[in-house]
Chain A
Amino acid sequence: MSDTATIPGVEQAVALGLTRDEYALVCEKLDREPNEVELAMFSLLWSEHCAYKHSKKLLRTLPTEGPRVVMGPGENAGAVDVGGGWSVAFKVESHNHPSAVEPFQGAATGVGGILRDIFAIGARPIAVLDSLRFGEPDSERSRYLLDRAVAGIGHYGNSVGVPTVGGEVYFEGPYETNCLINAMALGLARTDEMVRSAAAGLGNQVILFGASTGRDGIGGASVLASAELDEEDESKRPSVQVGDPFEENKLIECSLELLERRLLVSLQDLGAAGLTSSASEMASAGKVGIDIDVARVPLREADMAPFEIMVSESQERMLCVAEPERVDEVLAVCAKWEVHGTVIGEVTDSRTMRILRDGETVGEVPVEALVDDCPLYDLEPAKPSEPLYPAPKATLRDGDDVLLALLGSPNIASRRPLFEQYDCLVGARTARRPEQADAAVLALPHGGGIAVSIDGSGRRVAVDPYRGTIEAVLECAANLACTGAEPLGLTNCLNFGNPEKPHIAWQLTESVRGLGDACRALGIAVVGGNVSLYNEGADGPIYPTPVVGLVGELPDPLAAGRLAFCAEGDAIGLLGPFAPRLEASELAKLRGEALPAELPDVDVEAVVAAHAAVREAVRAGRLSSAHDVAEGGVLVAVAECCLAGGLGATLEDDGEAALFGEGPGGFVLSGARADLEALGARVIGEVGGDALACGEQSWTLDELRRAWSALAPLFP
C-alpha cells in the first residue's frame, strides 16, 4: 500500500453518508481505517441506493418465483419467458433526485440507465415507459420540471432509437419540491442466450468500453439518492450526470454484437457508484477478485484522483470480462461501432477489489465486505396518529360542470401533449399506441404479443398504504386485461420518504405487504425493482408512491383490445365487483376534501375474476371496446371511450357516487347487448350520436374534447 495514502477519518465518512457505527464496522472488516479510495467505495456501496439497507428485509417477503420467471431479483433486470424461445427482460428505476435538481438531464439519464440494465443481460431494448409525479401545474416550478423532464425523456429515448410506448403522470401538492421520475424499459432476448453479470476465470481481462470517465455524477448515489433534498440543491448540480444518447445507441449495438459473437464471459453496466459498483458486483457474483488499474481508464479530465475515477457516474459505460485470447476481437468490435474499449484490469482469485495506479496499490478491500456486509436495518414502523398530508386546495366551484372539470383536471386530461413528444413507433413492434388501449401492446417475433403498463396512485396509497398498493397492482393488471393480456411478471419502484421516520417506515411496510398479497392473488412474481427513499422536501414527504410495471402476454397483437367506442348501437356495459365511492376520488380532490382515514376493503379474488372475464372476452373478439374505470369514475371512463372513437353515448344517470365514484374492479365495455349480458355486465347505456348524454345532461364531443385538452397550454 502506498505510504502516501491519507486516512480521511470518521468525520469525512459521516460527511459521505455513513454512520459512525458503520464506519467502525468498515474499520473492523479492514482491520484498519480505510484510505480515501476505500472510504469512497464503502460510502457508495453502503448507501441506501446500493445496499437497500432499510428495505432489503421487507423486499425478501415478496414472491419472486414462478414458472415463467427466467431471471429474478439480483440480476440487472428481471425476465419472463414469453414463448417461442424468447424472453422479455424488464425493470423500472427511479431518477428522482437528479431530476429535481436538473430535470432535463436527470430524466434523460434515467432512461439511459435503465436501458443499460436491459442490454447488460443480452436483451435488445424494445420499449420504454415512464411514470412521473409533479406538484400541481399552477406552480411555475412544477411546469418547469414537467416541461424539461418530458423533453429529456424524449431527447434520450427518441435518439437512442427505443420507442416510448406508454407511461403515466400525476400532479399532487406533495410532489412540489420532490418530483418523481421513474423509467421502465423492456428488452427482448433469446432465452438461452441471456447473460449474467458474474465475473469468472482467473486471468480473464476486464474491459471498460463506452464513454470516457469524467467528474460528472461523483457521489450521485450517496449524495443525491440517499438523502433528503434541501434548499442548497443548486450546489449539487455537478452531481447530476449528462447523457449522450448517440453514445448509448452505439453501445447497444456494440454490446449485443459482442454477446452474439460469444466473445464475453460476463457483462455489466456502470450505473450508480460507477466502476466501484459494477466491478465489485461482478466479483461478488463470481466469487472472485478483480484488480483495476485506474491509470488505464480513459479520462475526460487529466488530473482525476483514483477515488474520483472509481466513483464517477459518467454515463454510457459498460464493463465486461473476456478471456485473454478474445481481447483483440472484443476491441475490434468496439472499434467497428466507434466505441472506445480499454483493458483496465484482471480477474484474480484474491476475493478482493484491488485498485492500482500504474501498478501501485491505492486501495484494497475484500469484495464480501463491500457488497455483502453492509448492515441491514429493521424499520420501526408506527402508524401516524395525525393526518400526514394537508387537504388539497379546492378548485371546483359551485355551479361548475363536474364532468368537464374532471376531464380538464391535470390528473385526467389527455396526455397527448406529452406522449406526442416521444417516438412510440421505432422498432415496428408497436401494435397499440398511447390512447388506443389501456396498455401498450408490442408484437413479438414468433407471432404473439405482450402488453405492458405502469401505474401507481400515490394519493390512494397515502390514505391506506396496504389497500392502496393492492389497488395499484390491480389497476395495472386491469389495463392488461383490457388488451386481452394475462400478467406474467411485475417490476416495481418504491418511492417513499425517509424510512428512519416511523410513519414513513409504516407506509413502506404496509405497502410492501400489499404488494406481496396482490402479486400472490394474481399468481405473478416480482422479478426486479428499485427502491427510492428519502423523497422529502422542506414541506414534508411525498405521497408514498409504489409504482408497478406489469408485463403480460396475449396470443394475437392484431386482435388486442382497444378503448375506443367504434360502433353505433353497441350496448355499454359495466362489469366487475365495482363499488364506487367518492372518498379519496379525483372529485373529492377537486372539492378540496381531506384524505379519508382508510380505503374500503378490496375483494381481490372477485377483481381478479373480473380481469379474467374481460381478458377472455377480448381474446374471443366478443367486445368492441374495453376500458377500466379509474380516476374520475364511470362517466369519465365513458367520455374517454367516446373521445377516442369520435362517437357519443347515452347513459343512465345513477347519481353522483355511481358516476364519479372510484374503486378497483370496474370495466366499461361495449359490444352486443347479448354478449355483455352473457359476461355478467350490467348494461348502462348505448353508443351513438355526437354527444354524451347522461340523464338530463348532455355534452357535445367538442365540449368534452376542449375540456380534455387542458394540458396542451403547458406545452405551447
Chain B
Amino acid sequence: MKLGVVQFPGSCDEVDALKACERVGDAVLLWHGEHDLKGVDAVVVPGGFSYGDYLRVGAIARFSPVMQEVAAFARDGGPVLGICNGFQVLCEAGLLPGALLPNQSLRFVCRQVGIEVVDAETSFTRACARGEELSIPVKHTTGRYYSPDPVRVVFRYTQGVNPNGSPEDIAGVANEAGNVVGLMPHPEHAVDLLHGSEDGLKLFASVAELAGV
C-alpha cells in the first residue's frame, strides 16, 4: 500500500498527513508541478493555504499539473481524500459536488469537535461503523459546505458543535462512487495519543484495508 500526499506552494499540513499515512503504509509527497503520481494506490490532498488562498480557496491549486493526474486517477476509481484546503481544491476541481463558503462567524476557528460517520461505505470510512462518533479537530475560515443538490454525506458534526454553520451539519461528503471523500476536520491531527485522539487514524486505515494491506 502506497499513499501519495500532494504538496502545493502554501500547503501546511502535508508533512502531518504524510506521517499519518506512514502509520498505515508507505507514503510519498507528490509535487504540484509534476504529472507524476509515482504509482500510489491512494491520494491525499492536504490542508493548508495553497497559493495563499488568493483569488478563492482552492481555485488556483486545481490548475496544478498534478491535479490533472489526480482527476484522472479519481475518475478511474482511485481513492482520493481531501482534507480542509484539499476538500476545497477537490470541489474546485469538480471531483466533489458543492463548494465551501466562509464560516458564519467570518472567523478562523480551531477546535476539537465530534463528527458522526453517516456513511461507512466509502473508501475512507470502511473501517468505521455507521453512527460512530470521532473526535477530530477543525481549523478553517472557509468551511461552510454548500450544495444546491442532494449529495452523499459522509460526516456530520455532532449535535451543537457545528463550527461553521453548514446546512444539516455537513462536515464531509463523497462523490457518488464513494472513492473521493472530502472533509473539513483534520484526521491527520488525531492519529496519536499525543494529539488527544487517535480517531482520525480510521480514515487512513480504511483506505489501507481497501488495498488489502
Q: Chain A 159-181, CB within 8 Å of chain B: the 1/0 string?
A: 11100000000000000000000
Asked whether, in the complex, the Cβ of B194 is within 8 Å of the Cβ of A421, the reply is no
Q: Which of B182-203 contact A (CB under 8 A)?
A: 186, 188-189, 192-195
Q: Chain A 245-261, CB within 8 Å of chain B: the 1/0 string?
A: 11101100000000000
- Of the candidates A338, A423, A426, A428, the one whose C-beta lies within 8 Å of that of B19 is A428
Question: Is A557 on the interface with B (CB-CB < 8 A)?
Answer: yes
Residue of chain A at shortest CB distance from B12: A161
Residues of B within 8 A of A245 (CB): 49, 52
Residue of chain B at shortest CB distance from A147: B107
Residues of A within 8 A of B13 (CB): 161, 426
Asked whether, in the complex, the Cβ of A249 is within 8 Å of the Cβ of B188, the reply is no
Question: Is B16 on the interface with A (CB-CB < 8 A)?
Answer: yes
Asked whether, in the complex, the Cβ of A425 is within 8 Å of the Cβ of B194, the reply is no
Q: Chain A 412-432, CB within 8 Å of chain B: the 1/0 string?
A: 000000011111111110110
Residues of B within 8 A of A250 (CB): 9-10
Separation of A430 and B110 alpha carbons in the complex (Å):
13
Residue of chain B at shortest CB distance from A449: B194
Residue of chain B at shortest CB distance from A417: B107
- Of the candidates B11, B109, B189, the one whose C-beta lies within 8 Å of that of A421 is B109
Asked whether, in the complex, the Cβ of A246 is within 8 Å of the Cβ of B107, the reply is no
Question: Is B56 on the interface with A (CB-CB < 8 A)?
Answer: no
Separation of A430 and B137 alpha carbons in the complex (Å):
13
Residue of chain B at shortest CB distance from A430: B195
Asked whether, in the complex, the Cβ of B110 is within 8 Å of the Cβ of A246, the reply is no
Separation of A44 and B51 alpha carbons in the complex (Å):
34
Separation of A583 and B139 alpha carbons in the complex (Å):
42
Tell me, rounded to whole Å, the shortest Cβ–Cβ distance linking A105 to chain B. Answer: 15
Separation of A575 and B190 alpha carbons in the complex (Å):
35
Residues of B within 8 A of A653 (CB): none
Residues of B within 8 A of A389 (CB): none
Question: Is B209 on the interface with A (CB-CB < 8 A)?
Answer: no
Q: Which of B16, B107, B193 is packed against the most chain A CB atoms within 10 Å? A: B107
Tell me, rounded to whole Å, the shortest Cβ–Cβ distance linking B200 to chain A. Answer: 11
Asked whether, in the complex, the Cβ of A246 is within 8 Å of the Cβ of B186, the reply is no
- Of the candidates A158, A337, A557, the one whose C-beta lies within 8 Å of that of B108 is A158
Tell me, rounded to whole Å, the shortest Cβ–Cβ distance linking A527 to chain B. Answer: 27
Q: Chain A 59-100, CB within 8 Å of chain B: the 1/0 string?
A: 000000000000000000000000000000000000000000
Asked whether, in the complex, the Cβ of A425 is within 8 Å of the Cβ of B139, the reply is yes
Residues of A within 8 A of B19 (CB): 428
Tell me, rounded to whole Å, the shortest Cβ–Cβ distance linking A158 to chain B. Answer: 6
Question: Is A154 on the interface with B (CB-CB < 8 A)?
Answer: yes
Q: Known: A425-B186, A557-B194. Contact between A161 and B48, CB under 8 A?
A: yes
Q: Which of B144-177 contact A (CB under 8 A)?
A: none
- Of the candidates B10, B53, B189, the one whose C-beta lies within 8 Å of that of A425 is B189
Question: Is A443 on the interface with B (CB-CB < 8 A)?
Answer: yes
Residue of chain A at shortest CB distance from B50: A246
- Of the candidates A159, A337, A338, A420, the one whose C-beta lies within 8 Å of that of B12 is A159
Asked whether, in the complex, the Cβ of B52 is within 8 Å of the Cβ of A159, the reply is yes
Asked whether, in the complex, the Cβ of B192 is within 8 Å of the Cβ of A428, the reply is yes
Question: Is B35 on the interface with A (CB-CB < 8 A)?
Answer: no
Q: Chain A 211-250, CB within 8 Å of chain B: the 1/0 string?
A: 0000000000000000000000000000000001111011
Tell me, rounded to whole Å, the shortest Cβ–Cβ distance linking A700 to chain B. Answer: 20
Asked whether, in the complex, the Cβ of B9 is within 8 Å of the Cβ of A338, the reply is yes
Tell me, rounded to whole Å, the shortest Cβ–Cβ distance linking B41 to chain A. Answer: 23
Asked whether, in the complex, the Cβ of B12 is within 8 Å of the Cβ of A428, the reply is no
Name the interface size band of chain A: 20 to 34
Question: Is A558 on the interface with B (CB-CB < 8 A)?
Answer: yes
- Of the candidates B10, B193, B195, the one whose C-beta lies within 8 Å of that of A246 is B10
Residues of A within 8 A of B16 (CB): 426-428
Residues of A within 8 A of B15 (CB): 427-428
Q: Known: A249-B10, A427-B16. Contact between A443 and B110, CB under 8 A?
A: no
- Of the candidates A155, A247, A420, the one whose C-beta lies within 8 Å of that of B109 is A420
Asked whether, in the complex, the Cβ of B9 is within 8 Å of the Cβ of A246, the reply is yes
Separation of A250 and B9 alpha carbons in the complex (Å):
7
Q: Chain B 52-79, CB within 8 Å of chain A: the 1/0 string?
A: 1110000000000000000000000000
Residues of A within 8 A of B105 (CB): 716
Residue of chain A at shortest CB distance from B85: A159
Q: Known: A246-B52, A428-B192, A557-B194. Contact between A421 and B12, CB under 8 A?
A: no
Residues of B within 8 A of A249 (CB): 9-10, 12, 49, 52
Asked whether, in the complex, the Cβ of B188 is within 8 Å of the Cβ of A428, the reply is yes
Asked whether, in the complex, the Cβ of B108 is within 8 Å of the Cβ of A421, the reply is yes
Residues of A within 8 A of B195 (CB): 425, 428, 430
Question: Is B111 on the interface with A (CB-CB < 8 A)?
Answer: yes
Asked whether, in the complex, the Cβ of B52 is within 8 Å of the Cβ of A443, the reply is no
Residues of A within 8 A of B9 (CB): 246, 249-250, 337-338
Tell me, rounded to whole Å, the shortest Cβ–Cβ distance linking A415 to chain B. Answer: 13
Residues of A within 8 A of B51 (CB): 246
Separation of A249 and B19 alpha carbons in the complex (Å):
20
Q: Known: A421-B107, A428-B189. Contact between A158 and B194, CB under 8 A?
A: no
Tell me, rounded to whole Å, the shortest Cβ–Cβ distance linking B201 to chain A. Answer: 13
Residues of A within 8 A of B189 (CB): 425-426, 428
Q: Which of A307-328 contact B (CB under 8 A)?
A: none
Residues of B within 8 A of A420 (CB): 109-111
Q: Chain A 548-578, CB within 8 Å of chain B: the 1/0 string?
A: 0000000001100000000000000000000
Residue of chain B at shortest CB distance from A560: B194
Residues of A within 8 A of B111 (CB): 420
Separation of A715 and B108 alpha carbons in the complex (Å):
11
Tell me, rounded to whole Å, the shortest Cβ–Cβ distance linking A333 to chain B. Answer: 14
Residue of chain A at shortest CB distance from B48: A161
Separation of A246 and B54 alpha carbons in the complex (Å):
9
Separation of A244 and B192 alpha carbons in the complex (Å):
33
- Of the candidates B11, B48, B107, B137, the one whose C-beta lies within 8 Å of that of A715 is B107
Q: Chain B 97-111, CB within 8 Å of chain A: the 1/0 string?
A: 000000001011111
Residue of chain A at shortest CB distance from B14: A161
Separation of A214 and B130 alpha carbons in the complex (Å):
56
Tell me, rounded to whole Å, the shortest Cβ–Cβ distance linking A666 to chain B. Answer: 28
Tell me, rounded to whole Å, the shortest Cβ–Cβ distance linking B34 to chain A. Answer: 11
Q: Known: A158-B139, A161-B12, A425-B189. Contact between A443 and B107, CB under 8 A?
A: no
Separation of A704 and B194 alpha carbons in the complex (Å):
29
Q: Which of B1-60 contact A (CB under 8 A)?
A: 9-13, 15-16, 19, 48-49, 51-54
Separation of A155 and B52 alpha carbons in the complex (Å):
10
Residue of chain A at shortest CB distance from B190: A425
Separation of A427 and B10 alpha carbons in the complex (Å):
14
Residues of A within 8 A of B188 (CB): 428
Tell me, rounded to whole Å, the shortest Cβ–Cβ distance linking A561 to chain B. Answer: 15
Q: Which of A154, A428, A557, A558 is packed against the most chain B CB atoms within 10 Å? A: A428
Asked whether, in the complex, the Cβ of B194 is within 8 Å of the Cβ of A431, the reply is yes
Separation of A431 and B194 alpha carbons in the complex (Å):
5
Tell me, rounded to whole Å, the shortest Cβ–Cβ distance linking A630 to chain B. Answer: 24
Asked whether, in the complex, the Cβ of B186 is within 8 Å of the Cβ of A443, the reply is no
Separation of A14 and B25 alpha carbons in the complex (Å):
66
Separation of A159 and B13 alpha carbons in the complex (Å):
10
Residues of A within 8 A of B11 (CB): 161
Tell me, rounded to whole Å, the shortest Cβ–Cβ distance linking B127 to chain A. Answer: 21
Residues of B within 8 A of A161 (CB): 11-13, 48-49
B-contacting residues of A (Cβ < 8 Å)? Answer: 151, 154-155, 158-161, 244-247, 249-250, 337-338, 419-428, 430-431, 443, 557-558, 715-716
Report, nearest first, the 4 A-B pairs whose CB atoms are least far apart.
A246-B52, A161-B12, A159-B49, A428-B16
A-contacting residues of B (Cβ < 8 Å)? Answer: 9-13, 15-16, 19, 48-49, 51-54, 105, 107-111, 137, 139, 186, 188-189, 192-195
17 A-B pairs with CB atoms under 8 Å apart are A151-B107, A159-B52, A160-B12, A246-B10, A246-B52, A249-B9, A249-B12, A249-B52, A337-B9, A419-B110, A420-B110, A423-B110, A425-B189, A426-B13, A428-B15, A430-B195, A443-B194
Given contacts A155-B108, A426-B139, A557-B194, 13 further A-B contacts (CB under 8 A): A158-B108, A244-B52, A245-B52, A249-B49, A420-B110, A425-B110, A425-B139, A425-B189, A428-B15, A428-B19, A428-B189, A431-B194, A558-B193
